[in-house]
Amino acid sequence: MADPRVAKLASILVHHSIEVKKGDVVLISSSTELAKPLVLEVYKEVVKAGGHPLTSIGFEETTNIFYRLASKEQMQNFPKIRMFEARNIDCIVNIRAAANKKALSNIDPLLISERSKVLRPISEEIVNNKRWILCNYPTNGLAQEADMSLDEYEDFVYSATNIDWNRVKKEELKLKKVLDKANEVRIVGEETNLTISIKGRKAIPCYGERNMPDGEVFLSPVEDSADGHIYYEMPAIYQGREVTGIRLKFRSGKVVDASADKNEKFLITMLDTDKGARFLGELGIGVNYGIQKFTKDILFDEKIGGTVHLAVGRSYEDAGGKNISAIHWDMIKDLRKNGAIYLDGKAIQKNGKFLI
């Protein structure tokens, strides 16, 4: 018998997250075949909603094969068919179901960076112009990364996704109201004192319409405004690589100095991807206090109540962002111990607890 929690999640994704309407062309994409139960349930819901479902199911091994064997010409090849697809769908459900999150650990990061540049127009077409939702399907690989059994991880996932998102929306609108009135954000914490201008930028509350699970309020900072330094005590994971002990120094918006305790070379390579990679594309504030455990998965970790995350690279047009980059790398700062967020000099959060 199918897990009823999978069917409930599929219903939330189709009807709440992307609001499929009659006639919509919906791409259901999964990174591996392991997500089959959720893919099928989403497919059913799209059909029942009067949409036109398409499926794109990958195999984890193909990415590794490509990076190991592809020629320079193949690396630079732009997949026109994928762009045609991106332009002609109305919405997409992107399901991650990794068997091994470290599958690309031994691939040259420069190759990953170069391929990201080639594919950037496709991702930008989807992110900026389509209705999309990203979620996880529980796998042994994801459970192992989170130091949980598969049963424990399934409970963790569905307790974070199958909730009343309209109630979450009401709470987030309170935070949006104060952010929209502010000119400057200051973040303080362990080895951290960073000031960012948000003048003229509008905060976007997230309650299950882009990520699942959700629970953050984010905006795109003024591009040349970040000044100060920040230390990330939580690992930052990108393209299957885990980087720990990241320390960044900003001046006039740009990362002018960067170091890491582990995988520093990868960090620097990603920051040198293009001109926009050393500037901030996002400031997000986690408000999901139902997620307290760090799982090495940004989809969950960036929502942890009492944390903030700052992404280097591409910003979001709908958040007023103007930074262009092939990368968008979220890094999480824990403020639950001796941390604080100030808006125009007034504390709105201390030690992870809101004061508003």
Distance CA 46, CA 93 (A): 10
Distance CA 251, CA 7 (A): 48
Domain coordinates in residue numbering, the chain: 4-161, 165-354
In three state form, how does the secondary structure of the chain look? Answer: CCCHHHHHHHHHHHHHHCCCCCCCEEEEEECCHHHHHHHHHHHHHHHHCCCEEEEEECCHHHHHHHHHHCCHHHHCCCCHHHHHHHHHCCEEEEEECCCCCCCCCCCCHHHHHHHHHHHHHHHHHHHHHCEEEEEECCCHHHHHHCCCCHHHHHHHHHHHHCCCHHHHHHHHHHHHHHHHHCCEEEEEECCEEEEEECCCCCCEEECCCCEECCCEEEECCCCCCCEEEEEECCCEEECCEEEECEEEEEECCEEEEEECCECHHHHHHHHCCCHHHHEEEEEEEECECCCCCCCCCHHHHCCECCEEEEEEECCCHHHCCCCCCCCEEEEEEECCCCCEEEECCEEEEECCEECC
Q: Can you give the pLDDT at residue 290?
A: 81
Yes or no: domain 4-161 corresponds to CATH 3.30.565.10:
no
Q: Can you give the pLDDT at residue 109?
A: 83
* Residues of the chain predicted below pLDDT 70: 1
Does the predicted model carry a pTM greater than 0.95? no
Q: Can you give the pLDDT at residue 1?
A: 62
* CB contact set of 219 (below 8 Å; sequence gap of 6+): 179, 198, 201, 202, 203, 204, 282, 283, 319, 320
Distance CA 133, CA 120 (A): 18
Do residues 186 and 215 lie in contact, with contact meaning Cβ atoms separated by under 8 Å? no
CB atoms within 10 A of CB 179: 22
